Homo-oligomer: A and B are copies of this chain.
């Protein structure tokens, strides 16, 4: 089964339901860039795909950075003077600023307020905050709740640990016909947040499952890593492997109802950039294509100038552009099975282009080949499909001069890639086309 078959045979509705179910399972876990929550998450994924879990020791130098201490949290609360828990980590793991240092004290509201974070503009929502690289502690709560807090004597407790340990990430390498790789990367460091990025984890898992069963020209590498420090760590420890990455996509925010957004690689005209643009253009849906910027997710690291990998990012609503972003409202209702399924189809479509994009040489470059004598021209002509197919054959014959890939031809002709690909297949079968060796395609 080809990657294109994976796409055409996809039951988007069923896939969307499965993806939403996985998000639901992972939702309660308190993840951060290190710690038990990450391991528990990877453990669940290992039940679905043969993921290798890597552990990198605290203190390991990774380029300009150092693997941080491992953070774990057992409990956290704020009690009022009557001993009532008014903020309770066990109810919602967003309540604690991620990487909060252990803390236990009593204090008045004024003193406490410097450690409380709310969203006045969305007073019912709890924000998500972190303090990975600066020791601190804090609580996040709804602005409504903060408004009701009275001056009182509060007991504040954060039962966490921040100690030497490991950074954990998951990696799944799927060998294809060639050593050249397609990288699928998602971040796993966010606690109870669904679009960012349980949706991405879920989509990457589905891709991994389905691609395992497919014929693959490319090898695939799936990374389930904590944001920023995870990709930096992987790149630092895998510089040889990184050189094999020919295309890549960072999977984020793929579950909301927003239109698709593709963020180009730093190169701007990489094959993955052109494949994604082509698929979106022919998708019949609204979409946006943005130039690369050095802000966002792990594409920042993959596209740092020393690597400059051809890695883009295909999302729905991009980070920071929807109000639910990094709040408790990025929840199980915010993402939708339908959107998740549609996003999976879009990823498979882009991968199908990358898998099938090749360059050919016409074996009959002087004038057109006589398609009719090979039965490649429909007698009656008629249907729009057969017209498109004949046009596609003429385009492929005309542009297969060694300088145009099938994707180039699809772009020049305005026809969808799969029509061009099918035409090329027919022409190869009729010995009118010969594939250019891969080394020339690169």
Q: Which residues of A pack against B, CB within 8 Å? A: 62-65, 133-134, 228, 231-232, 235-236, 266, 291, 293-295, 300-301, 303-308, 362, 364-370, 372-373, 379, 391, 394-395, 397-401, 412-413
Q: Which residues of B contact A401 (CB under 8 A)?
A: 305, 308
A304 with B368: CB separation less than 8 A: yes
The 9 A-B residue pairs with the shortest CB-CB distance, nearest first, are A306-B365, A306-B366, A294-B398, A305-B401, A294-B394, A232-B367, A301-B367, A305-B365, A64-B369
Alpha-carbon gap, A412 to B308, bound state (A): 16
Q: Which residues of B contact A372 (CB under 8 A)?
A: 133-134
B362 with A305: CB separation less than 8 A: yes
Alpha-carbon gap, A133 to B378, bound state (A): 12
B370 with A236: CB separation less than 8 A: no
A370 with B65: CB separation less than 8 A: yes
Given A133-B372, A301-B368, A306-B367, list of 9 further CB < 8 A pairs?
A: A63-B364, A64-B370, A134-B379, A236-B367, A294-B399, A300-B368, A301-B367, A304-B366, A304-B368
A304 with B64: CB separation less than 8 A: no
A367 with B304: CB separation less than 8 A: yes
A361's nearest neighbour on chain B, judged by CB, is B305
A299 to chain B, nearest CB (A): 11
Cβ-defined partner of A366 (8 Å) among B63, B370, B391: B63
B398 with A305: CB separation less than 8 A: yes
Alpha-carbon gap, A399 to B62, bound state (A): 21
| 12 A-B residue pairs with CB within 8 Å | A62-B367, A63-B366, A65-B370, A134-B372, A134-B379, A235-B366, A294-B395, A294-B397, A294-B398, A300-B394, A301-B368, A305-B365
A302's nearest neighbour on chain B, judged by CB, is B367
Name the residue in A64, A295, A397 with the highest tally of chain B Cβ atoms < 10 Å from its Cβ. Answer: A64
Name the residue in A65, A367, A370, A391 with the highest tally of chain B Cβ atoms < 10 Å from its Cβ. Answer: A367
A300 to chain B, nearest CB (A): 6
Q: Which residues of B contact A307 (CB under 8 A)?
A: 366-367
Q: Which residues of B contact A398 (CB under 8 A)?
A: 266, 294, 300, 303-305
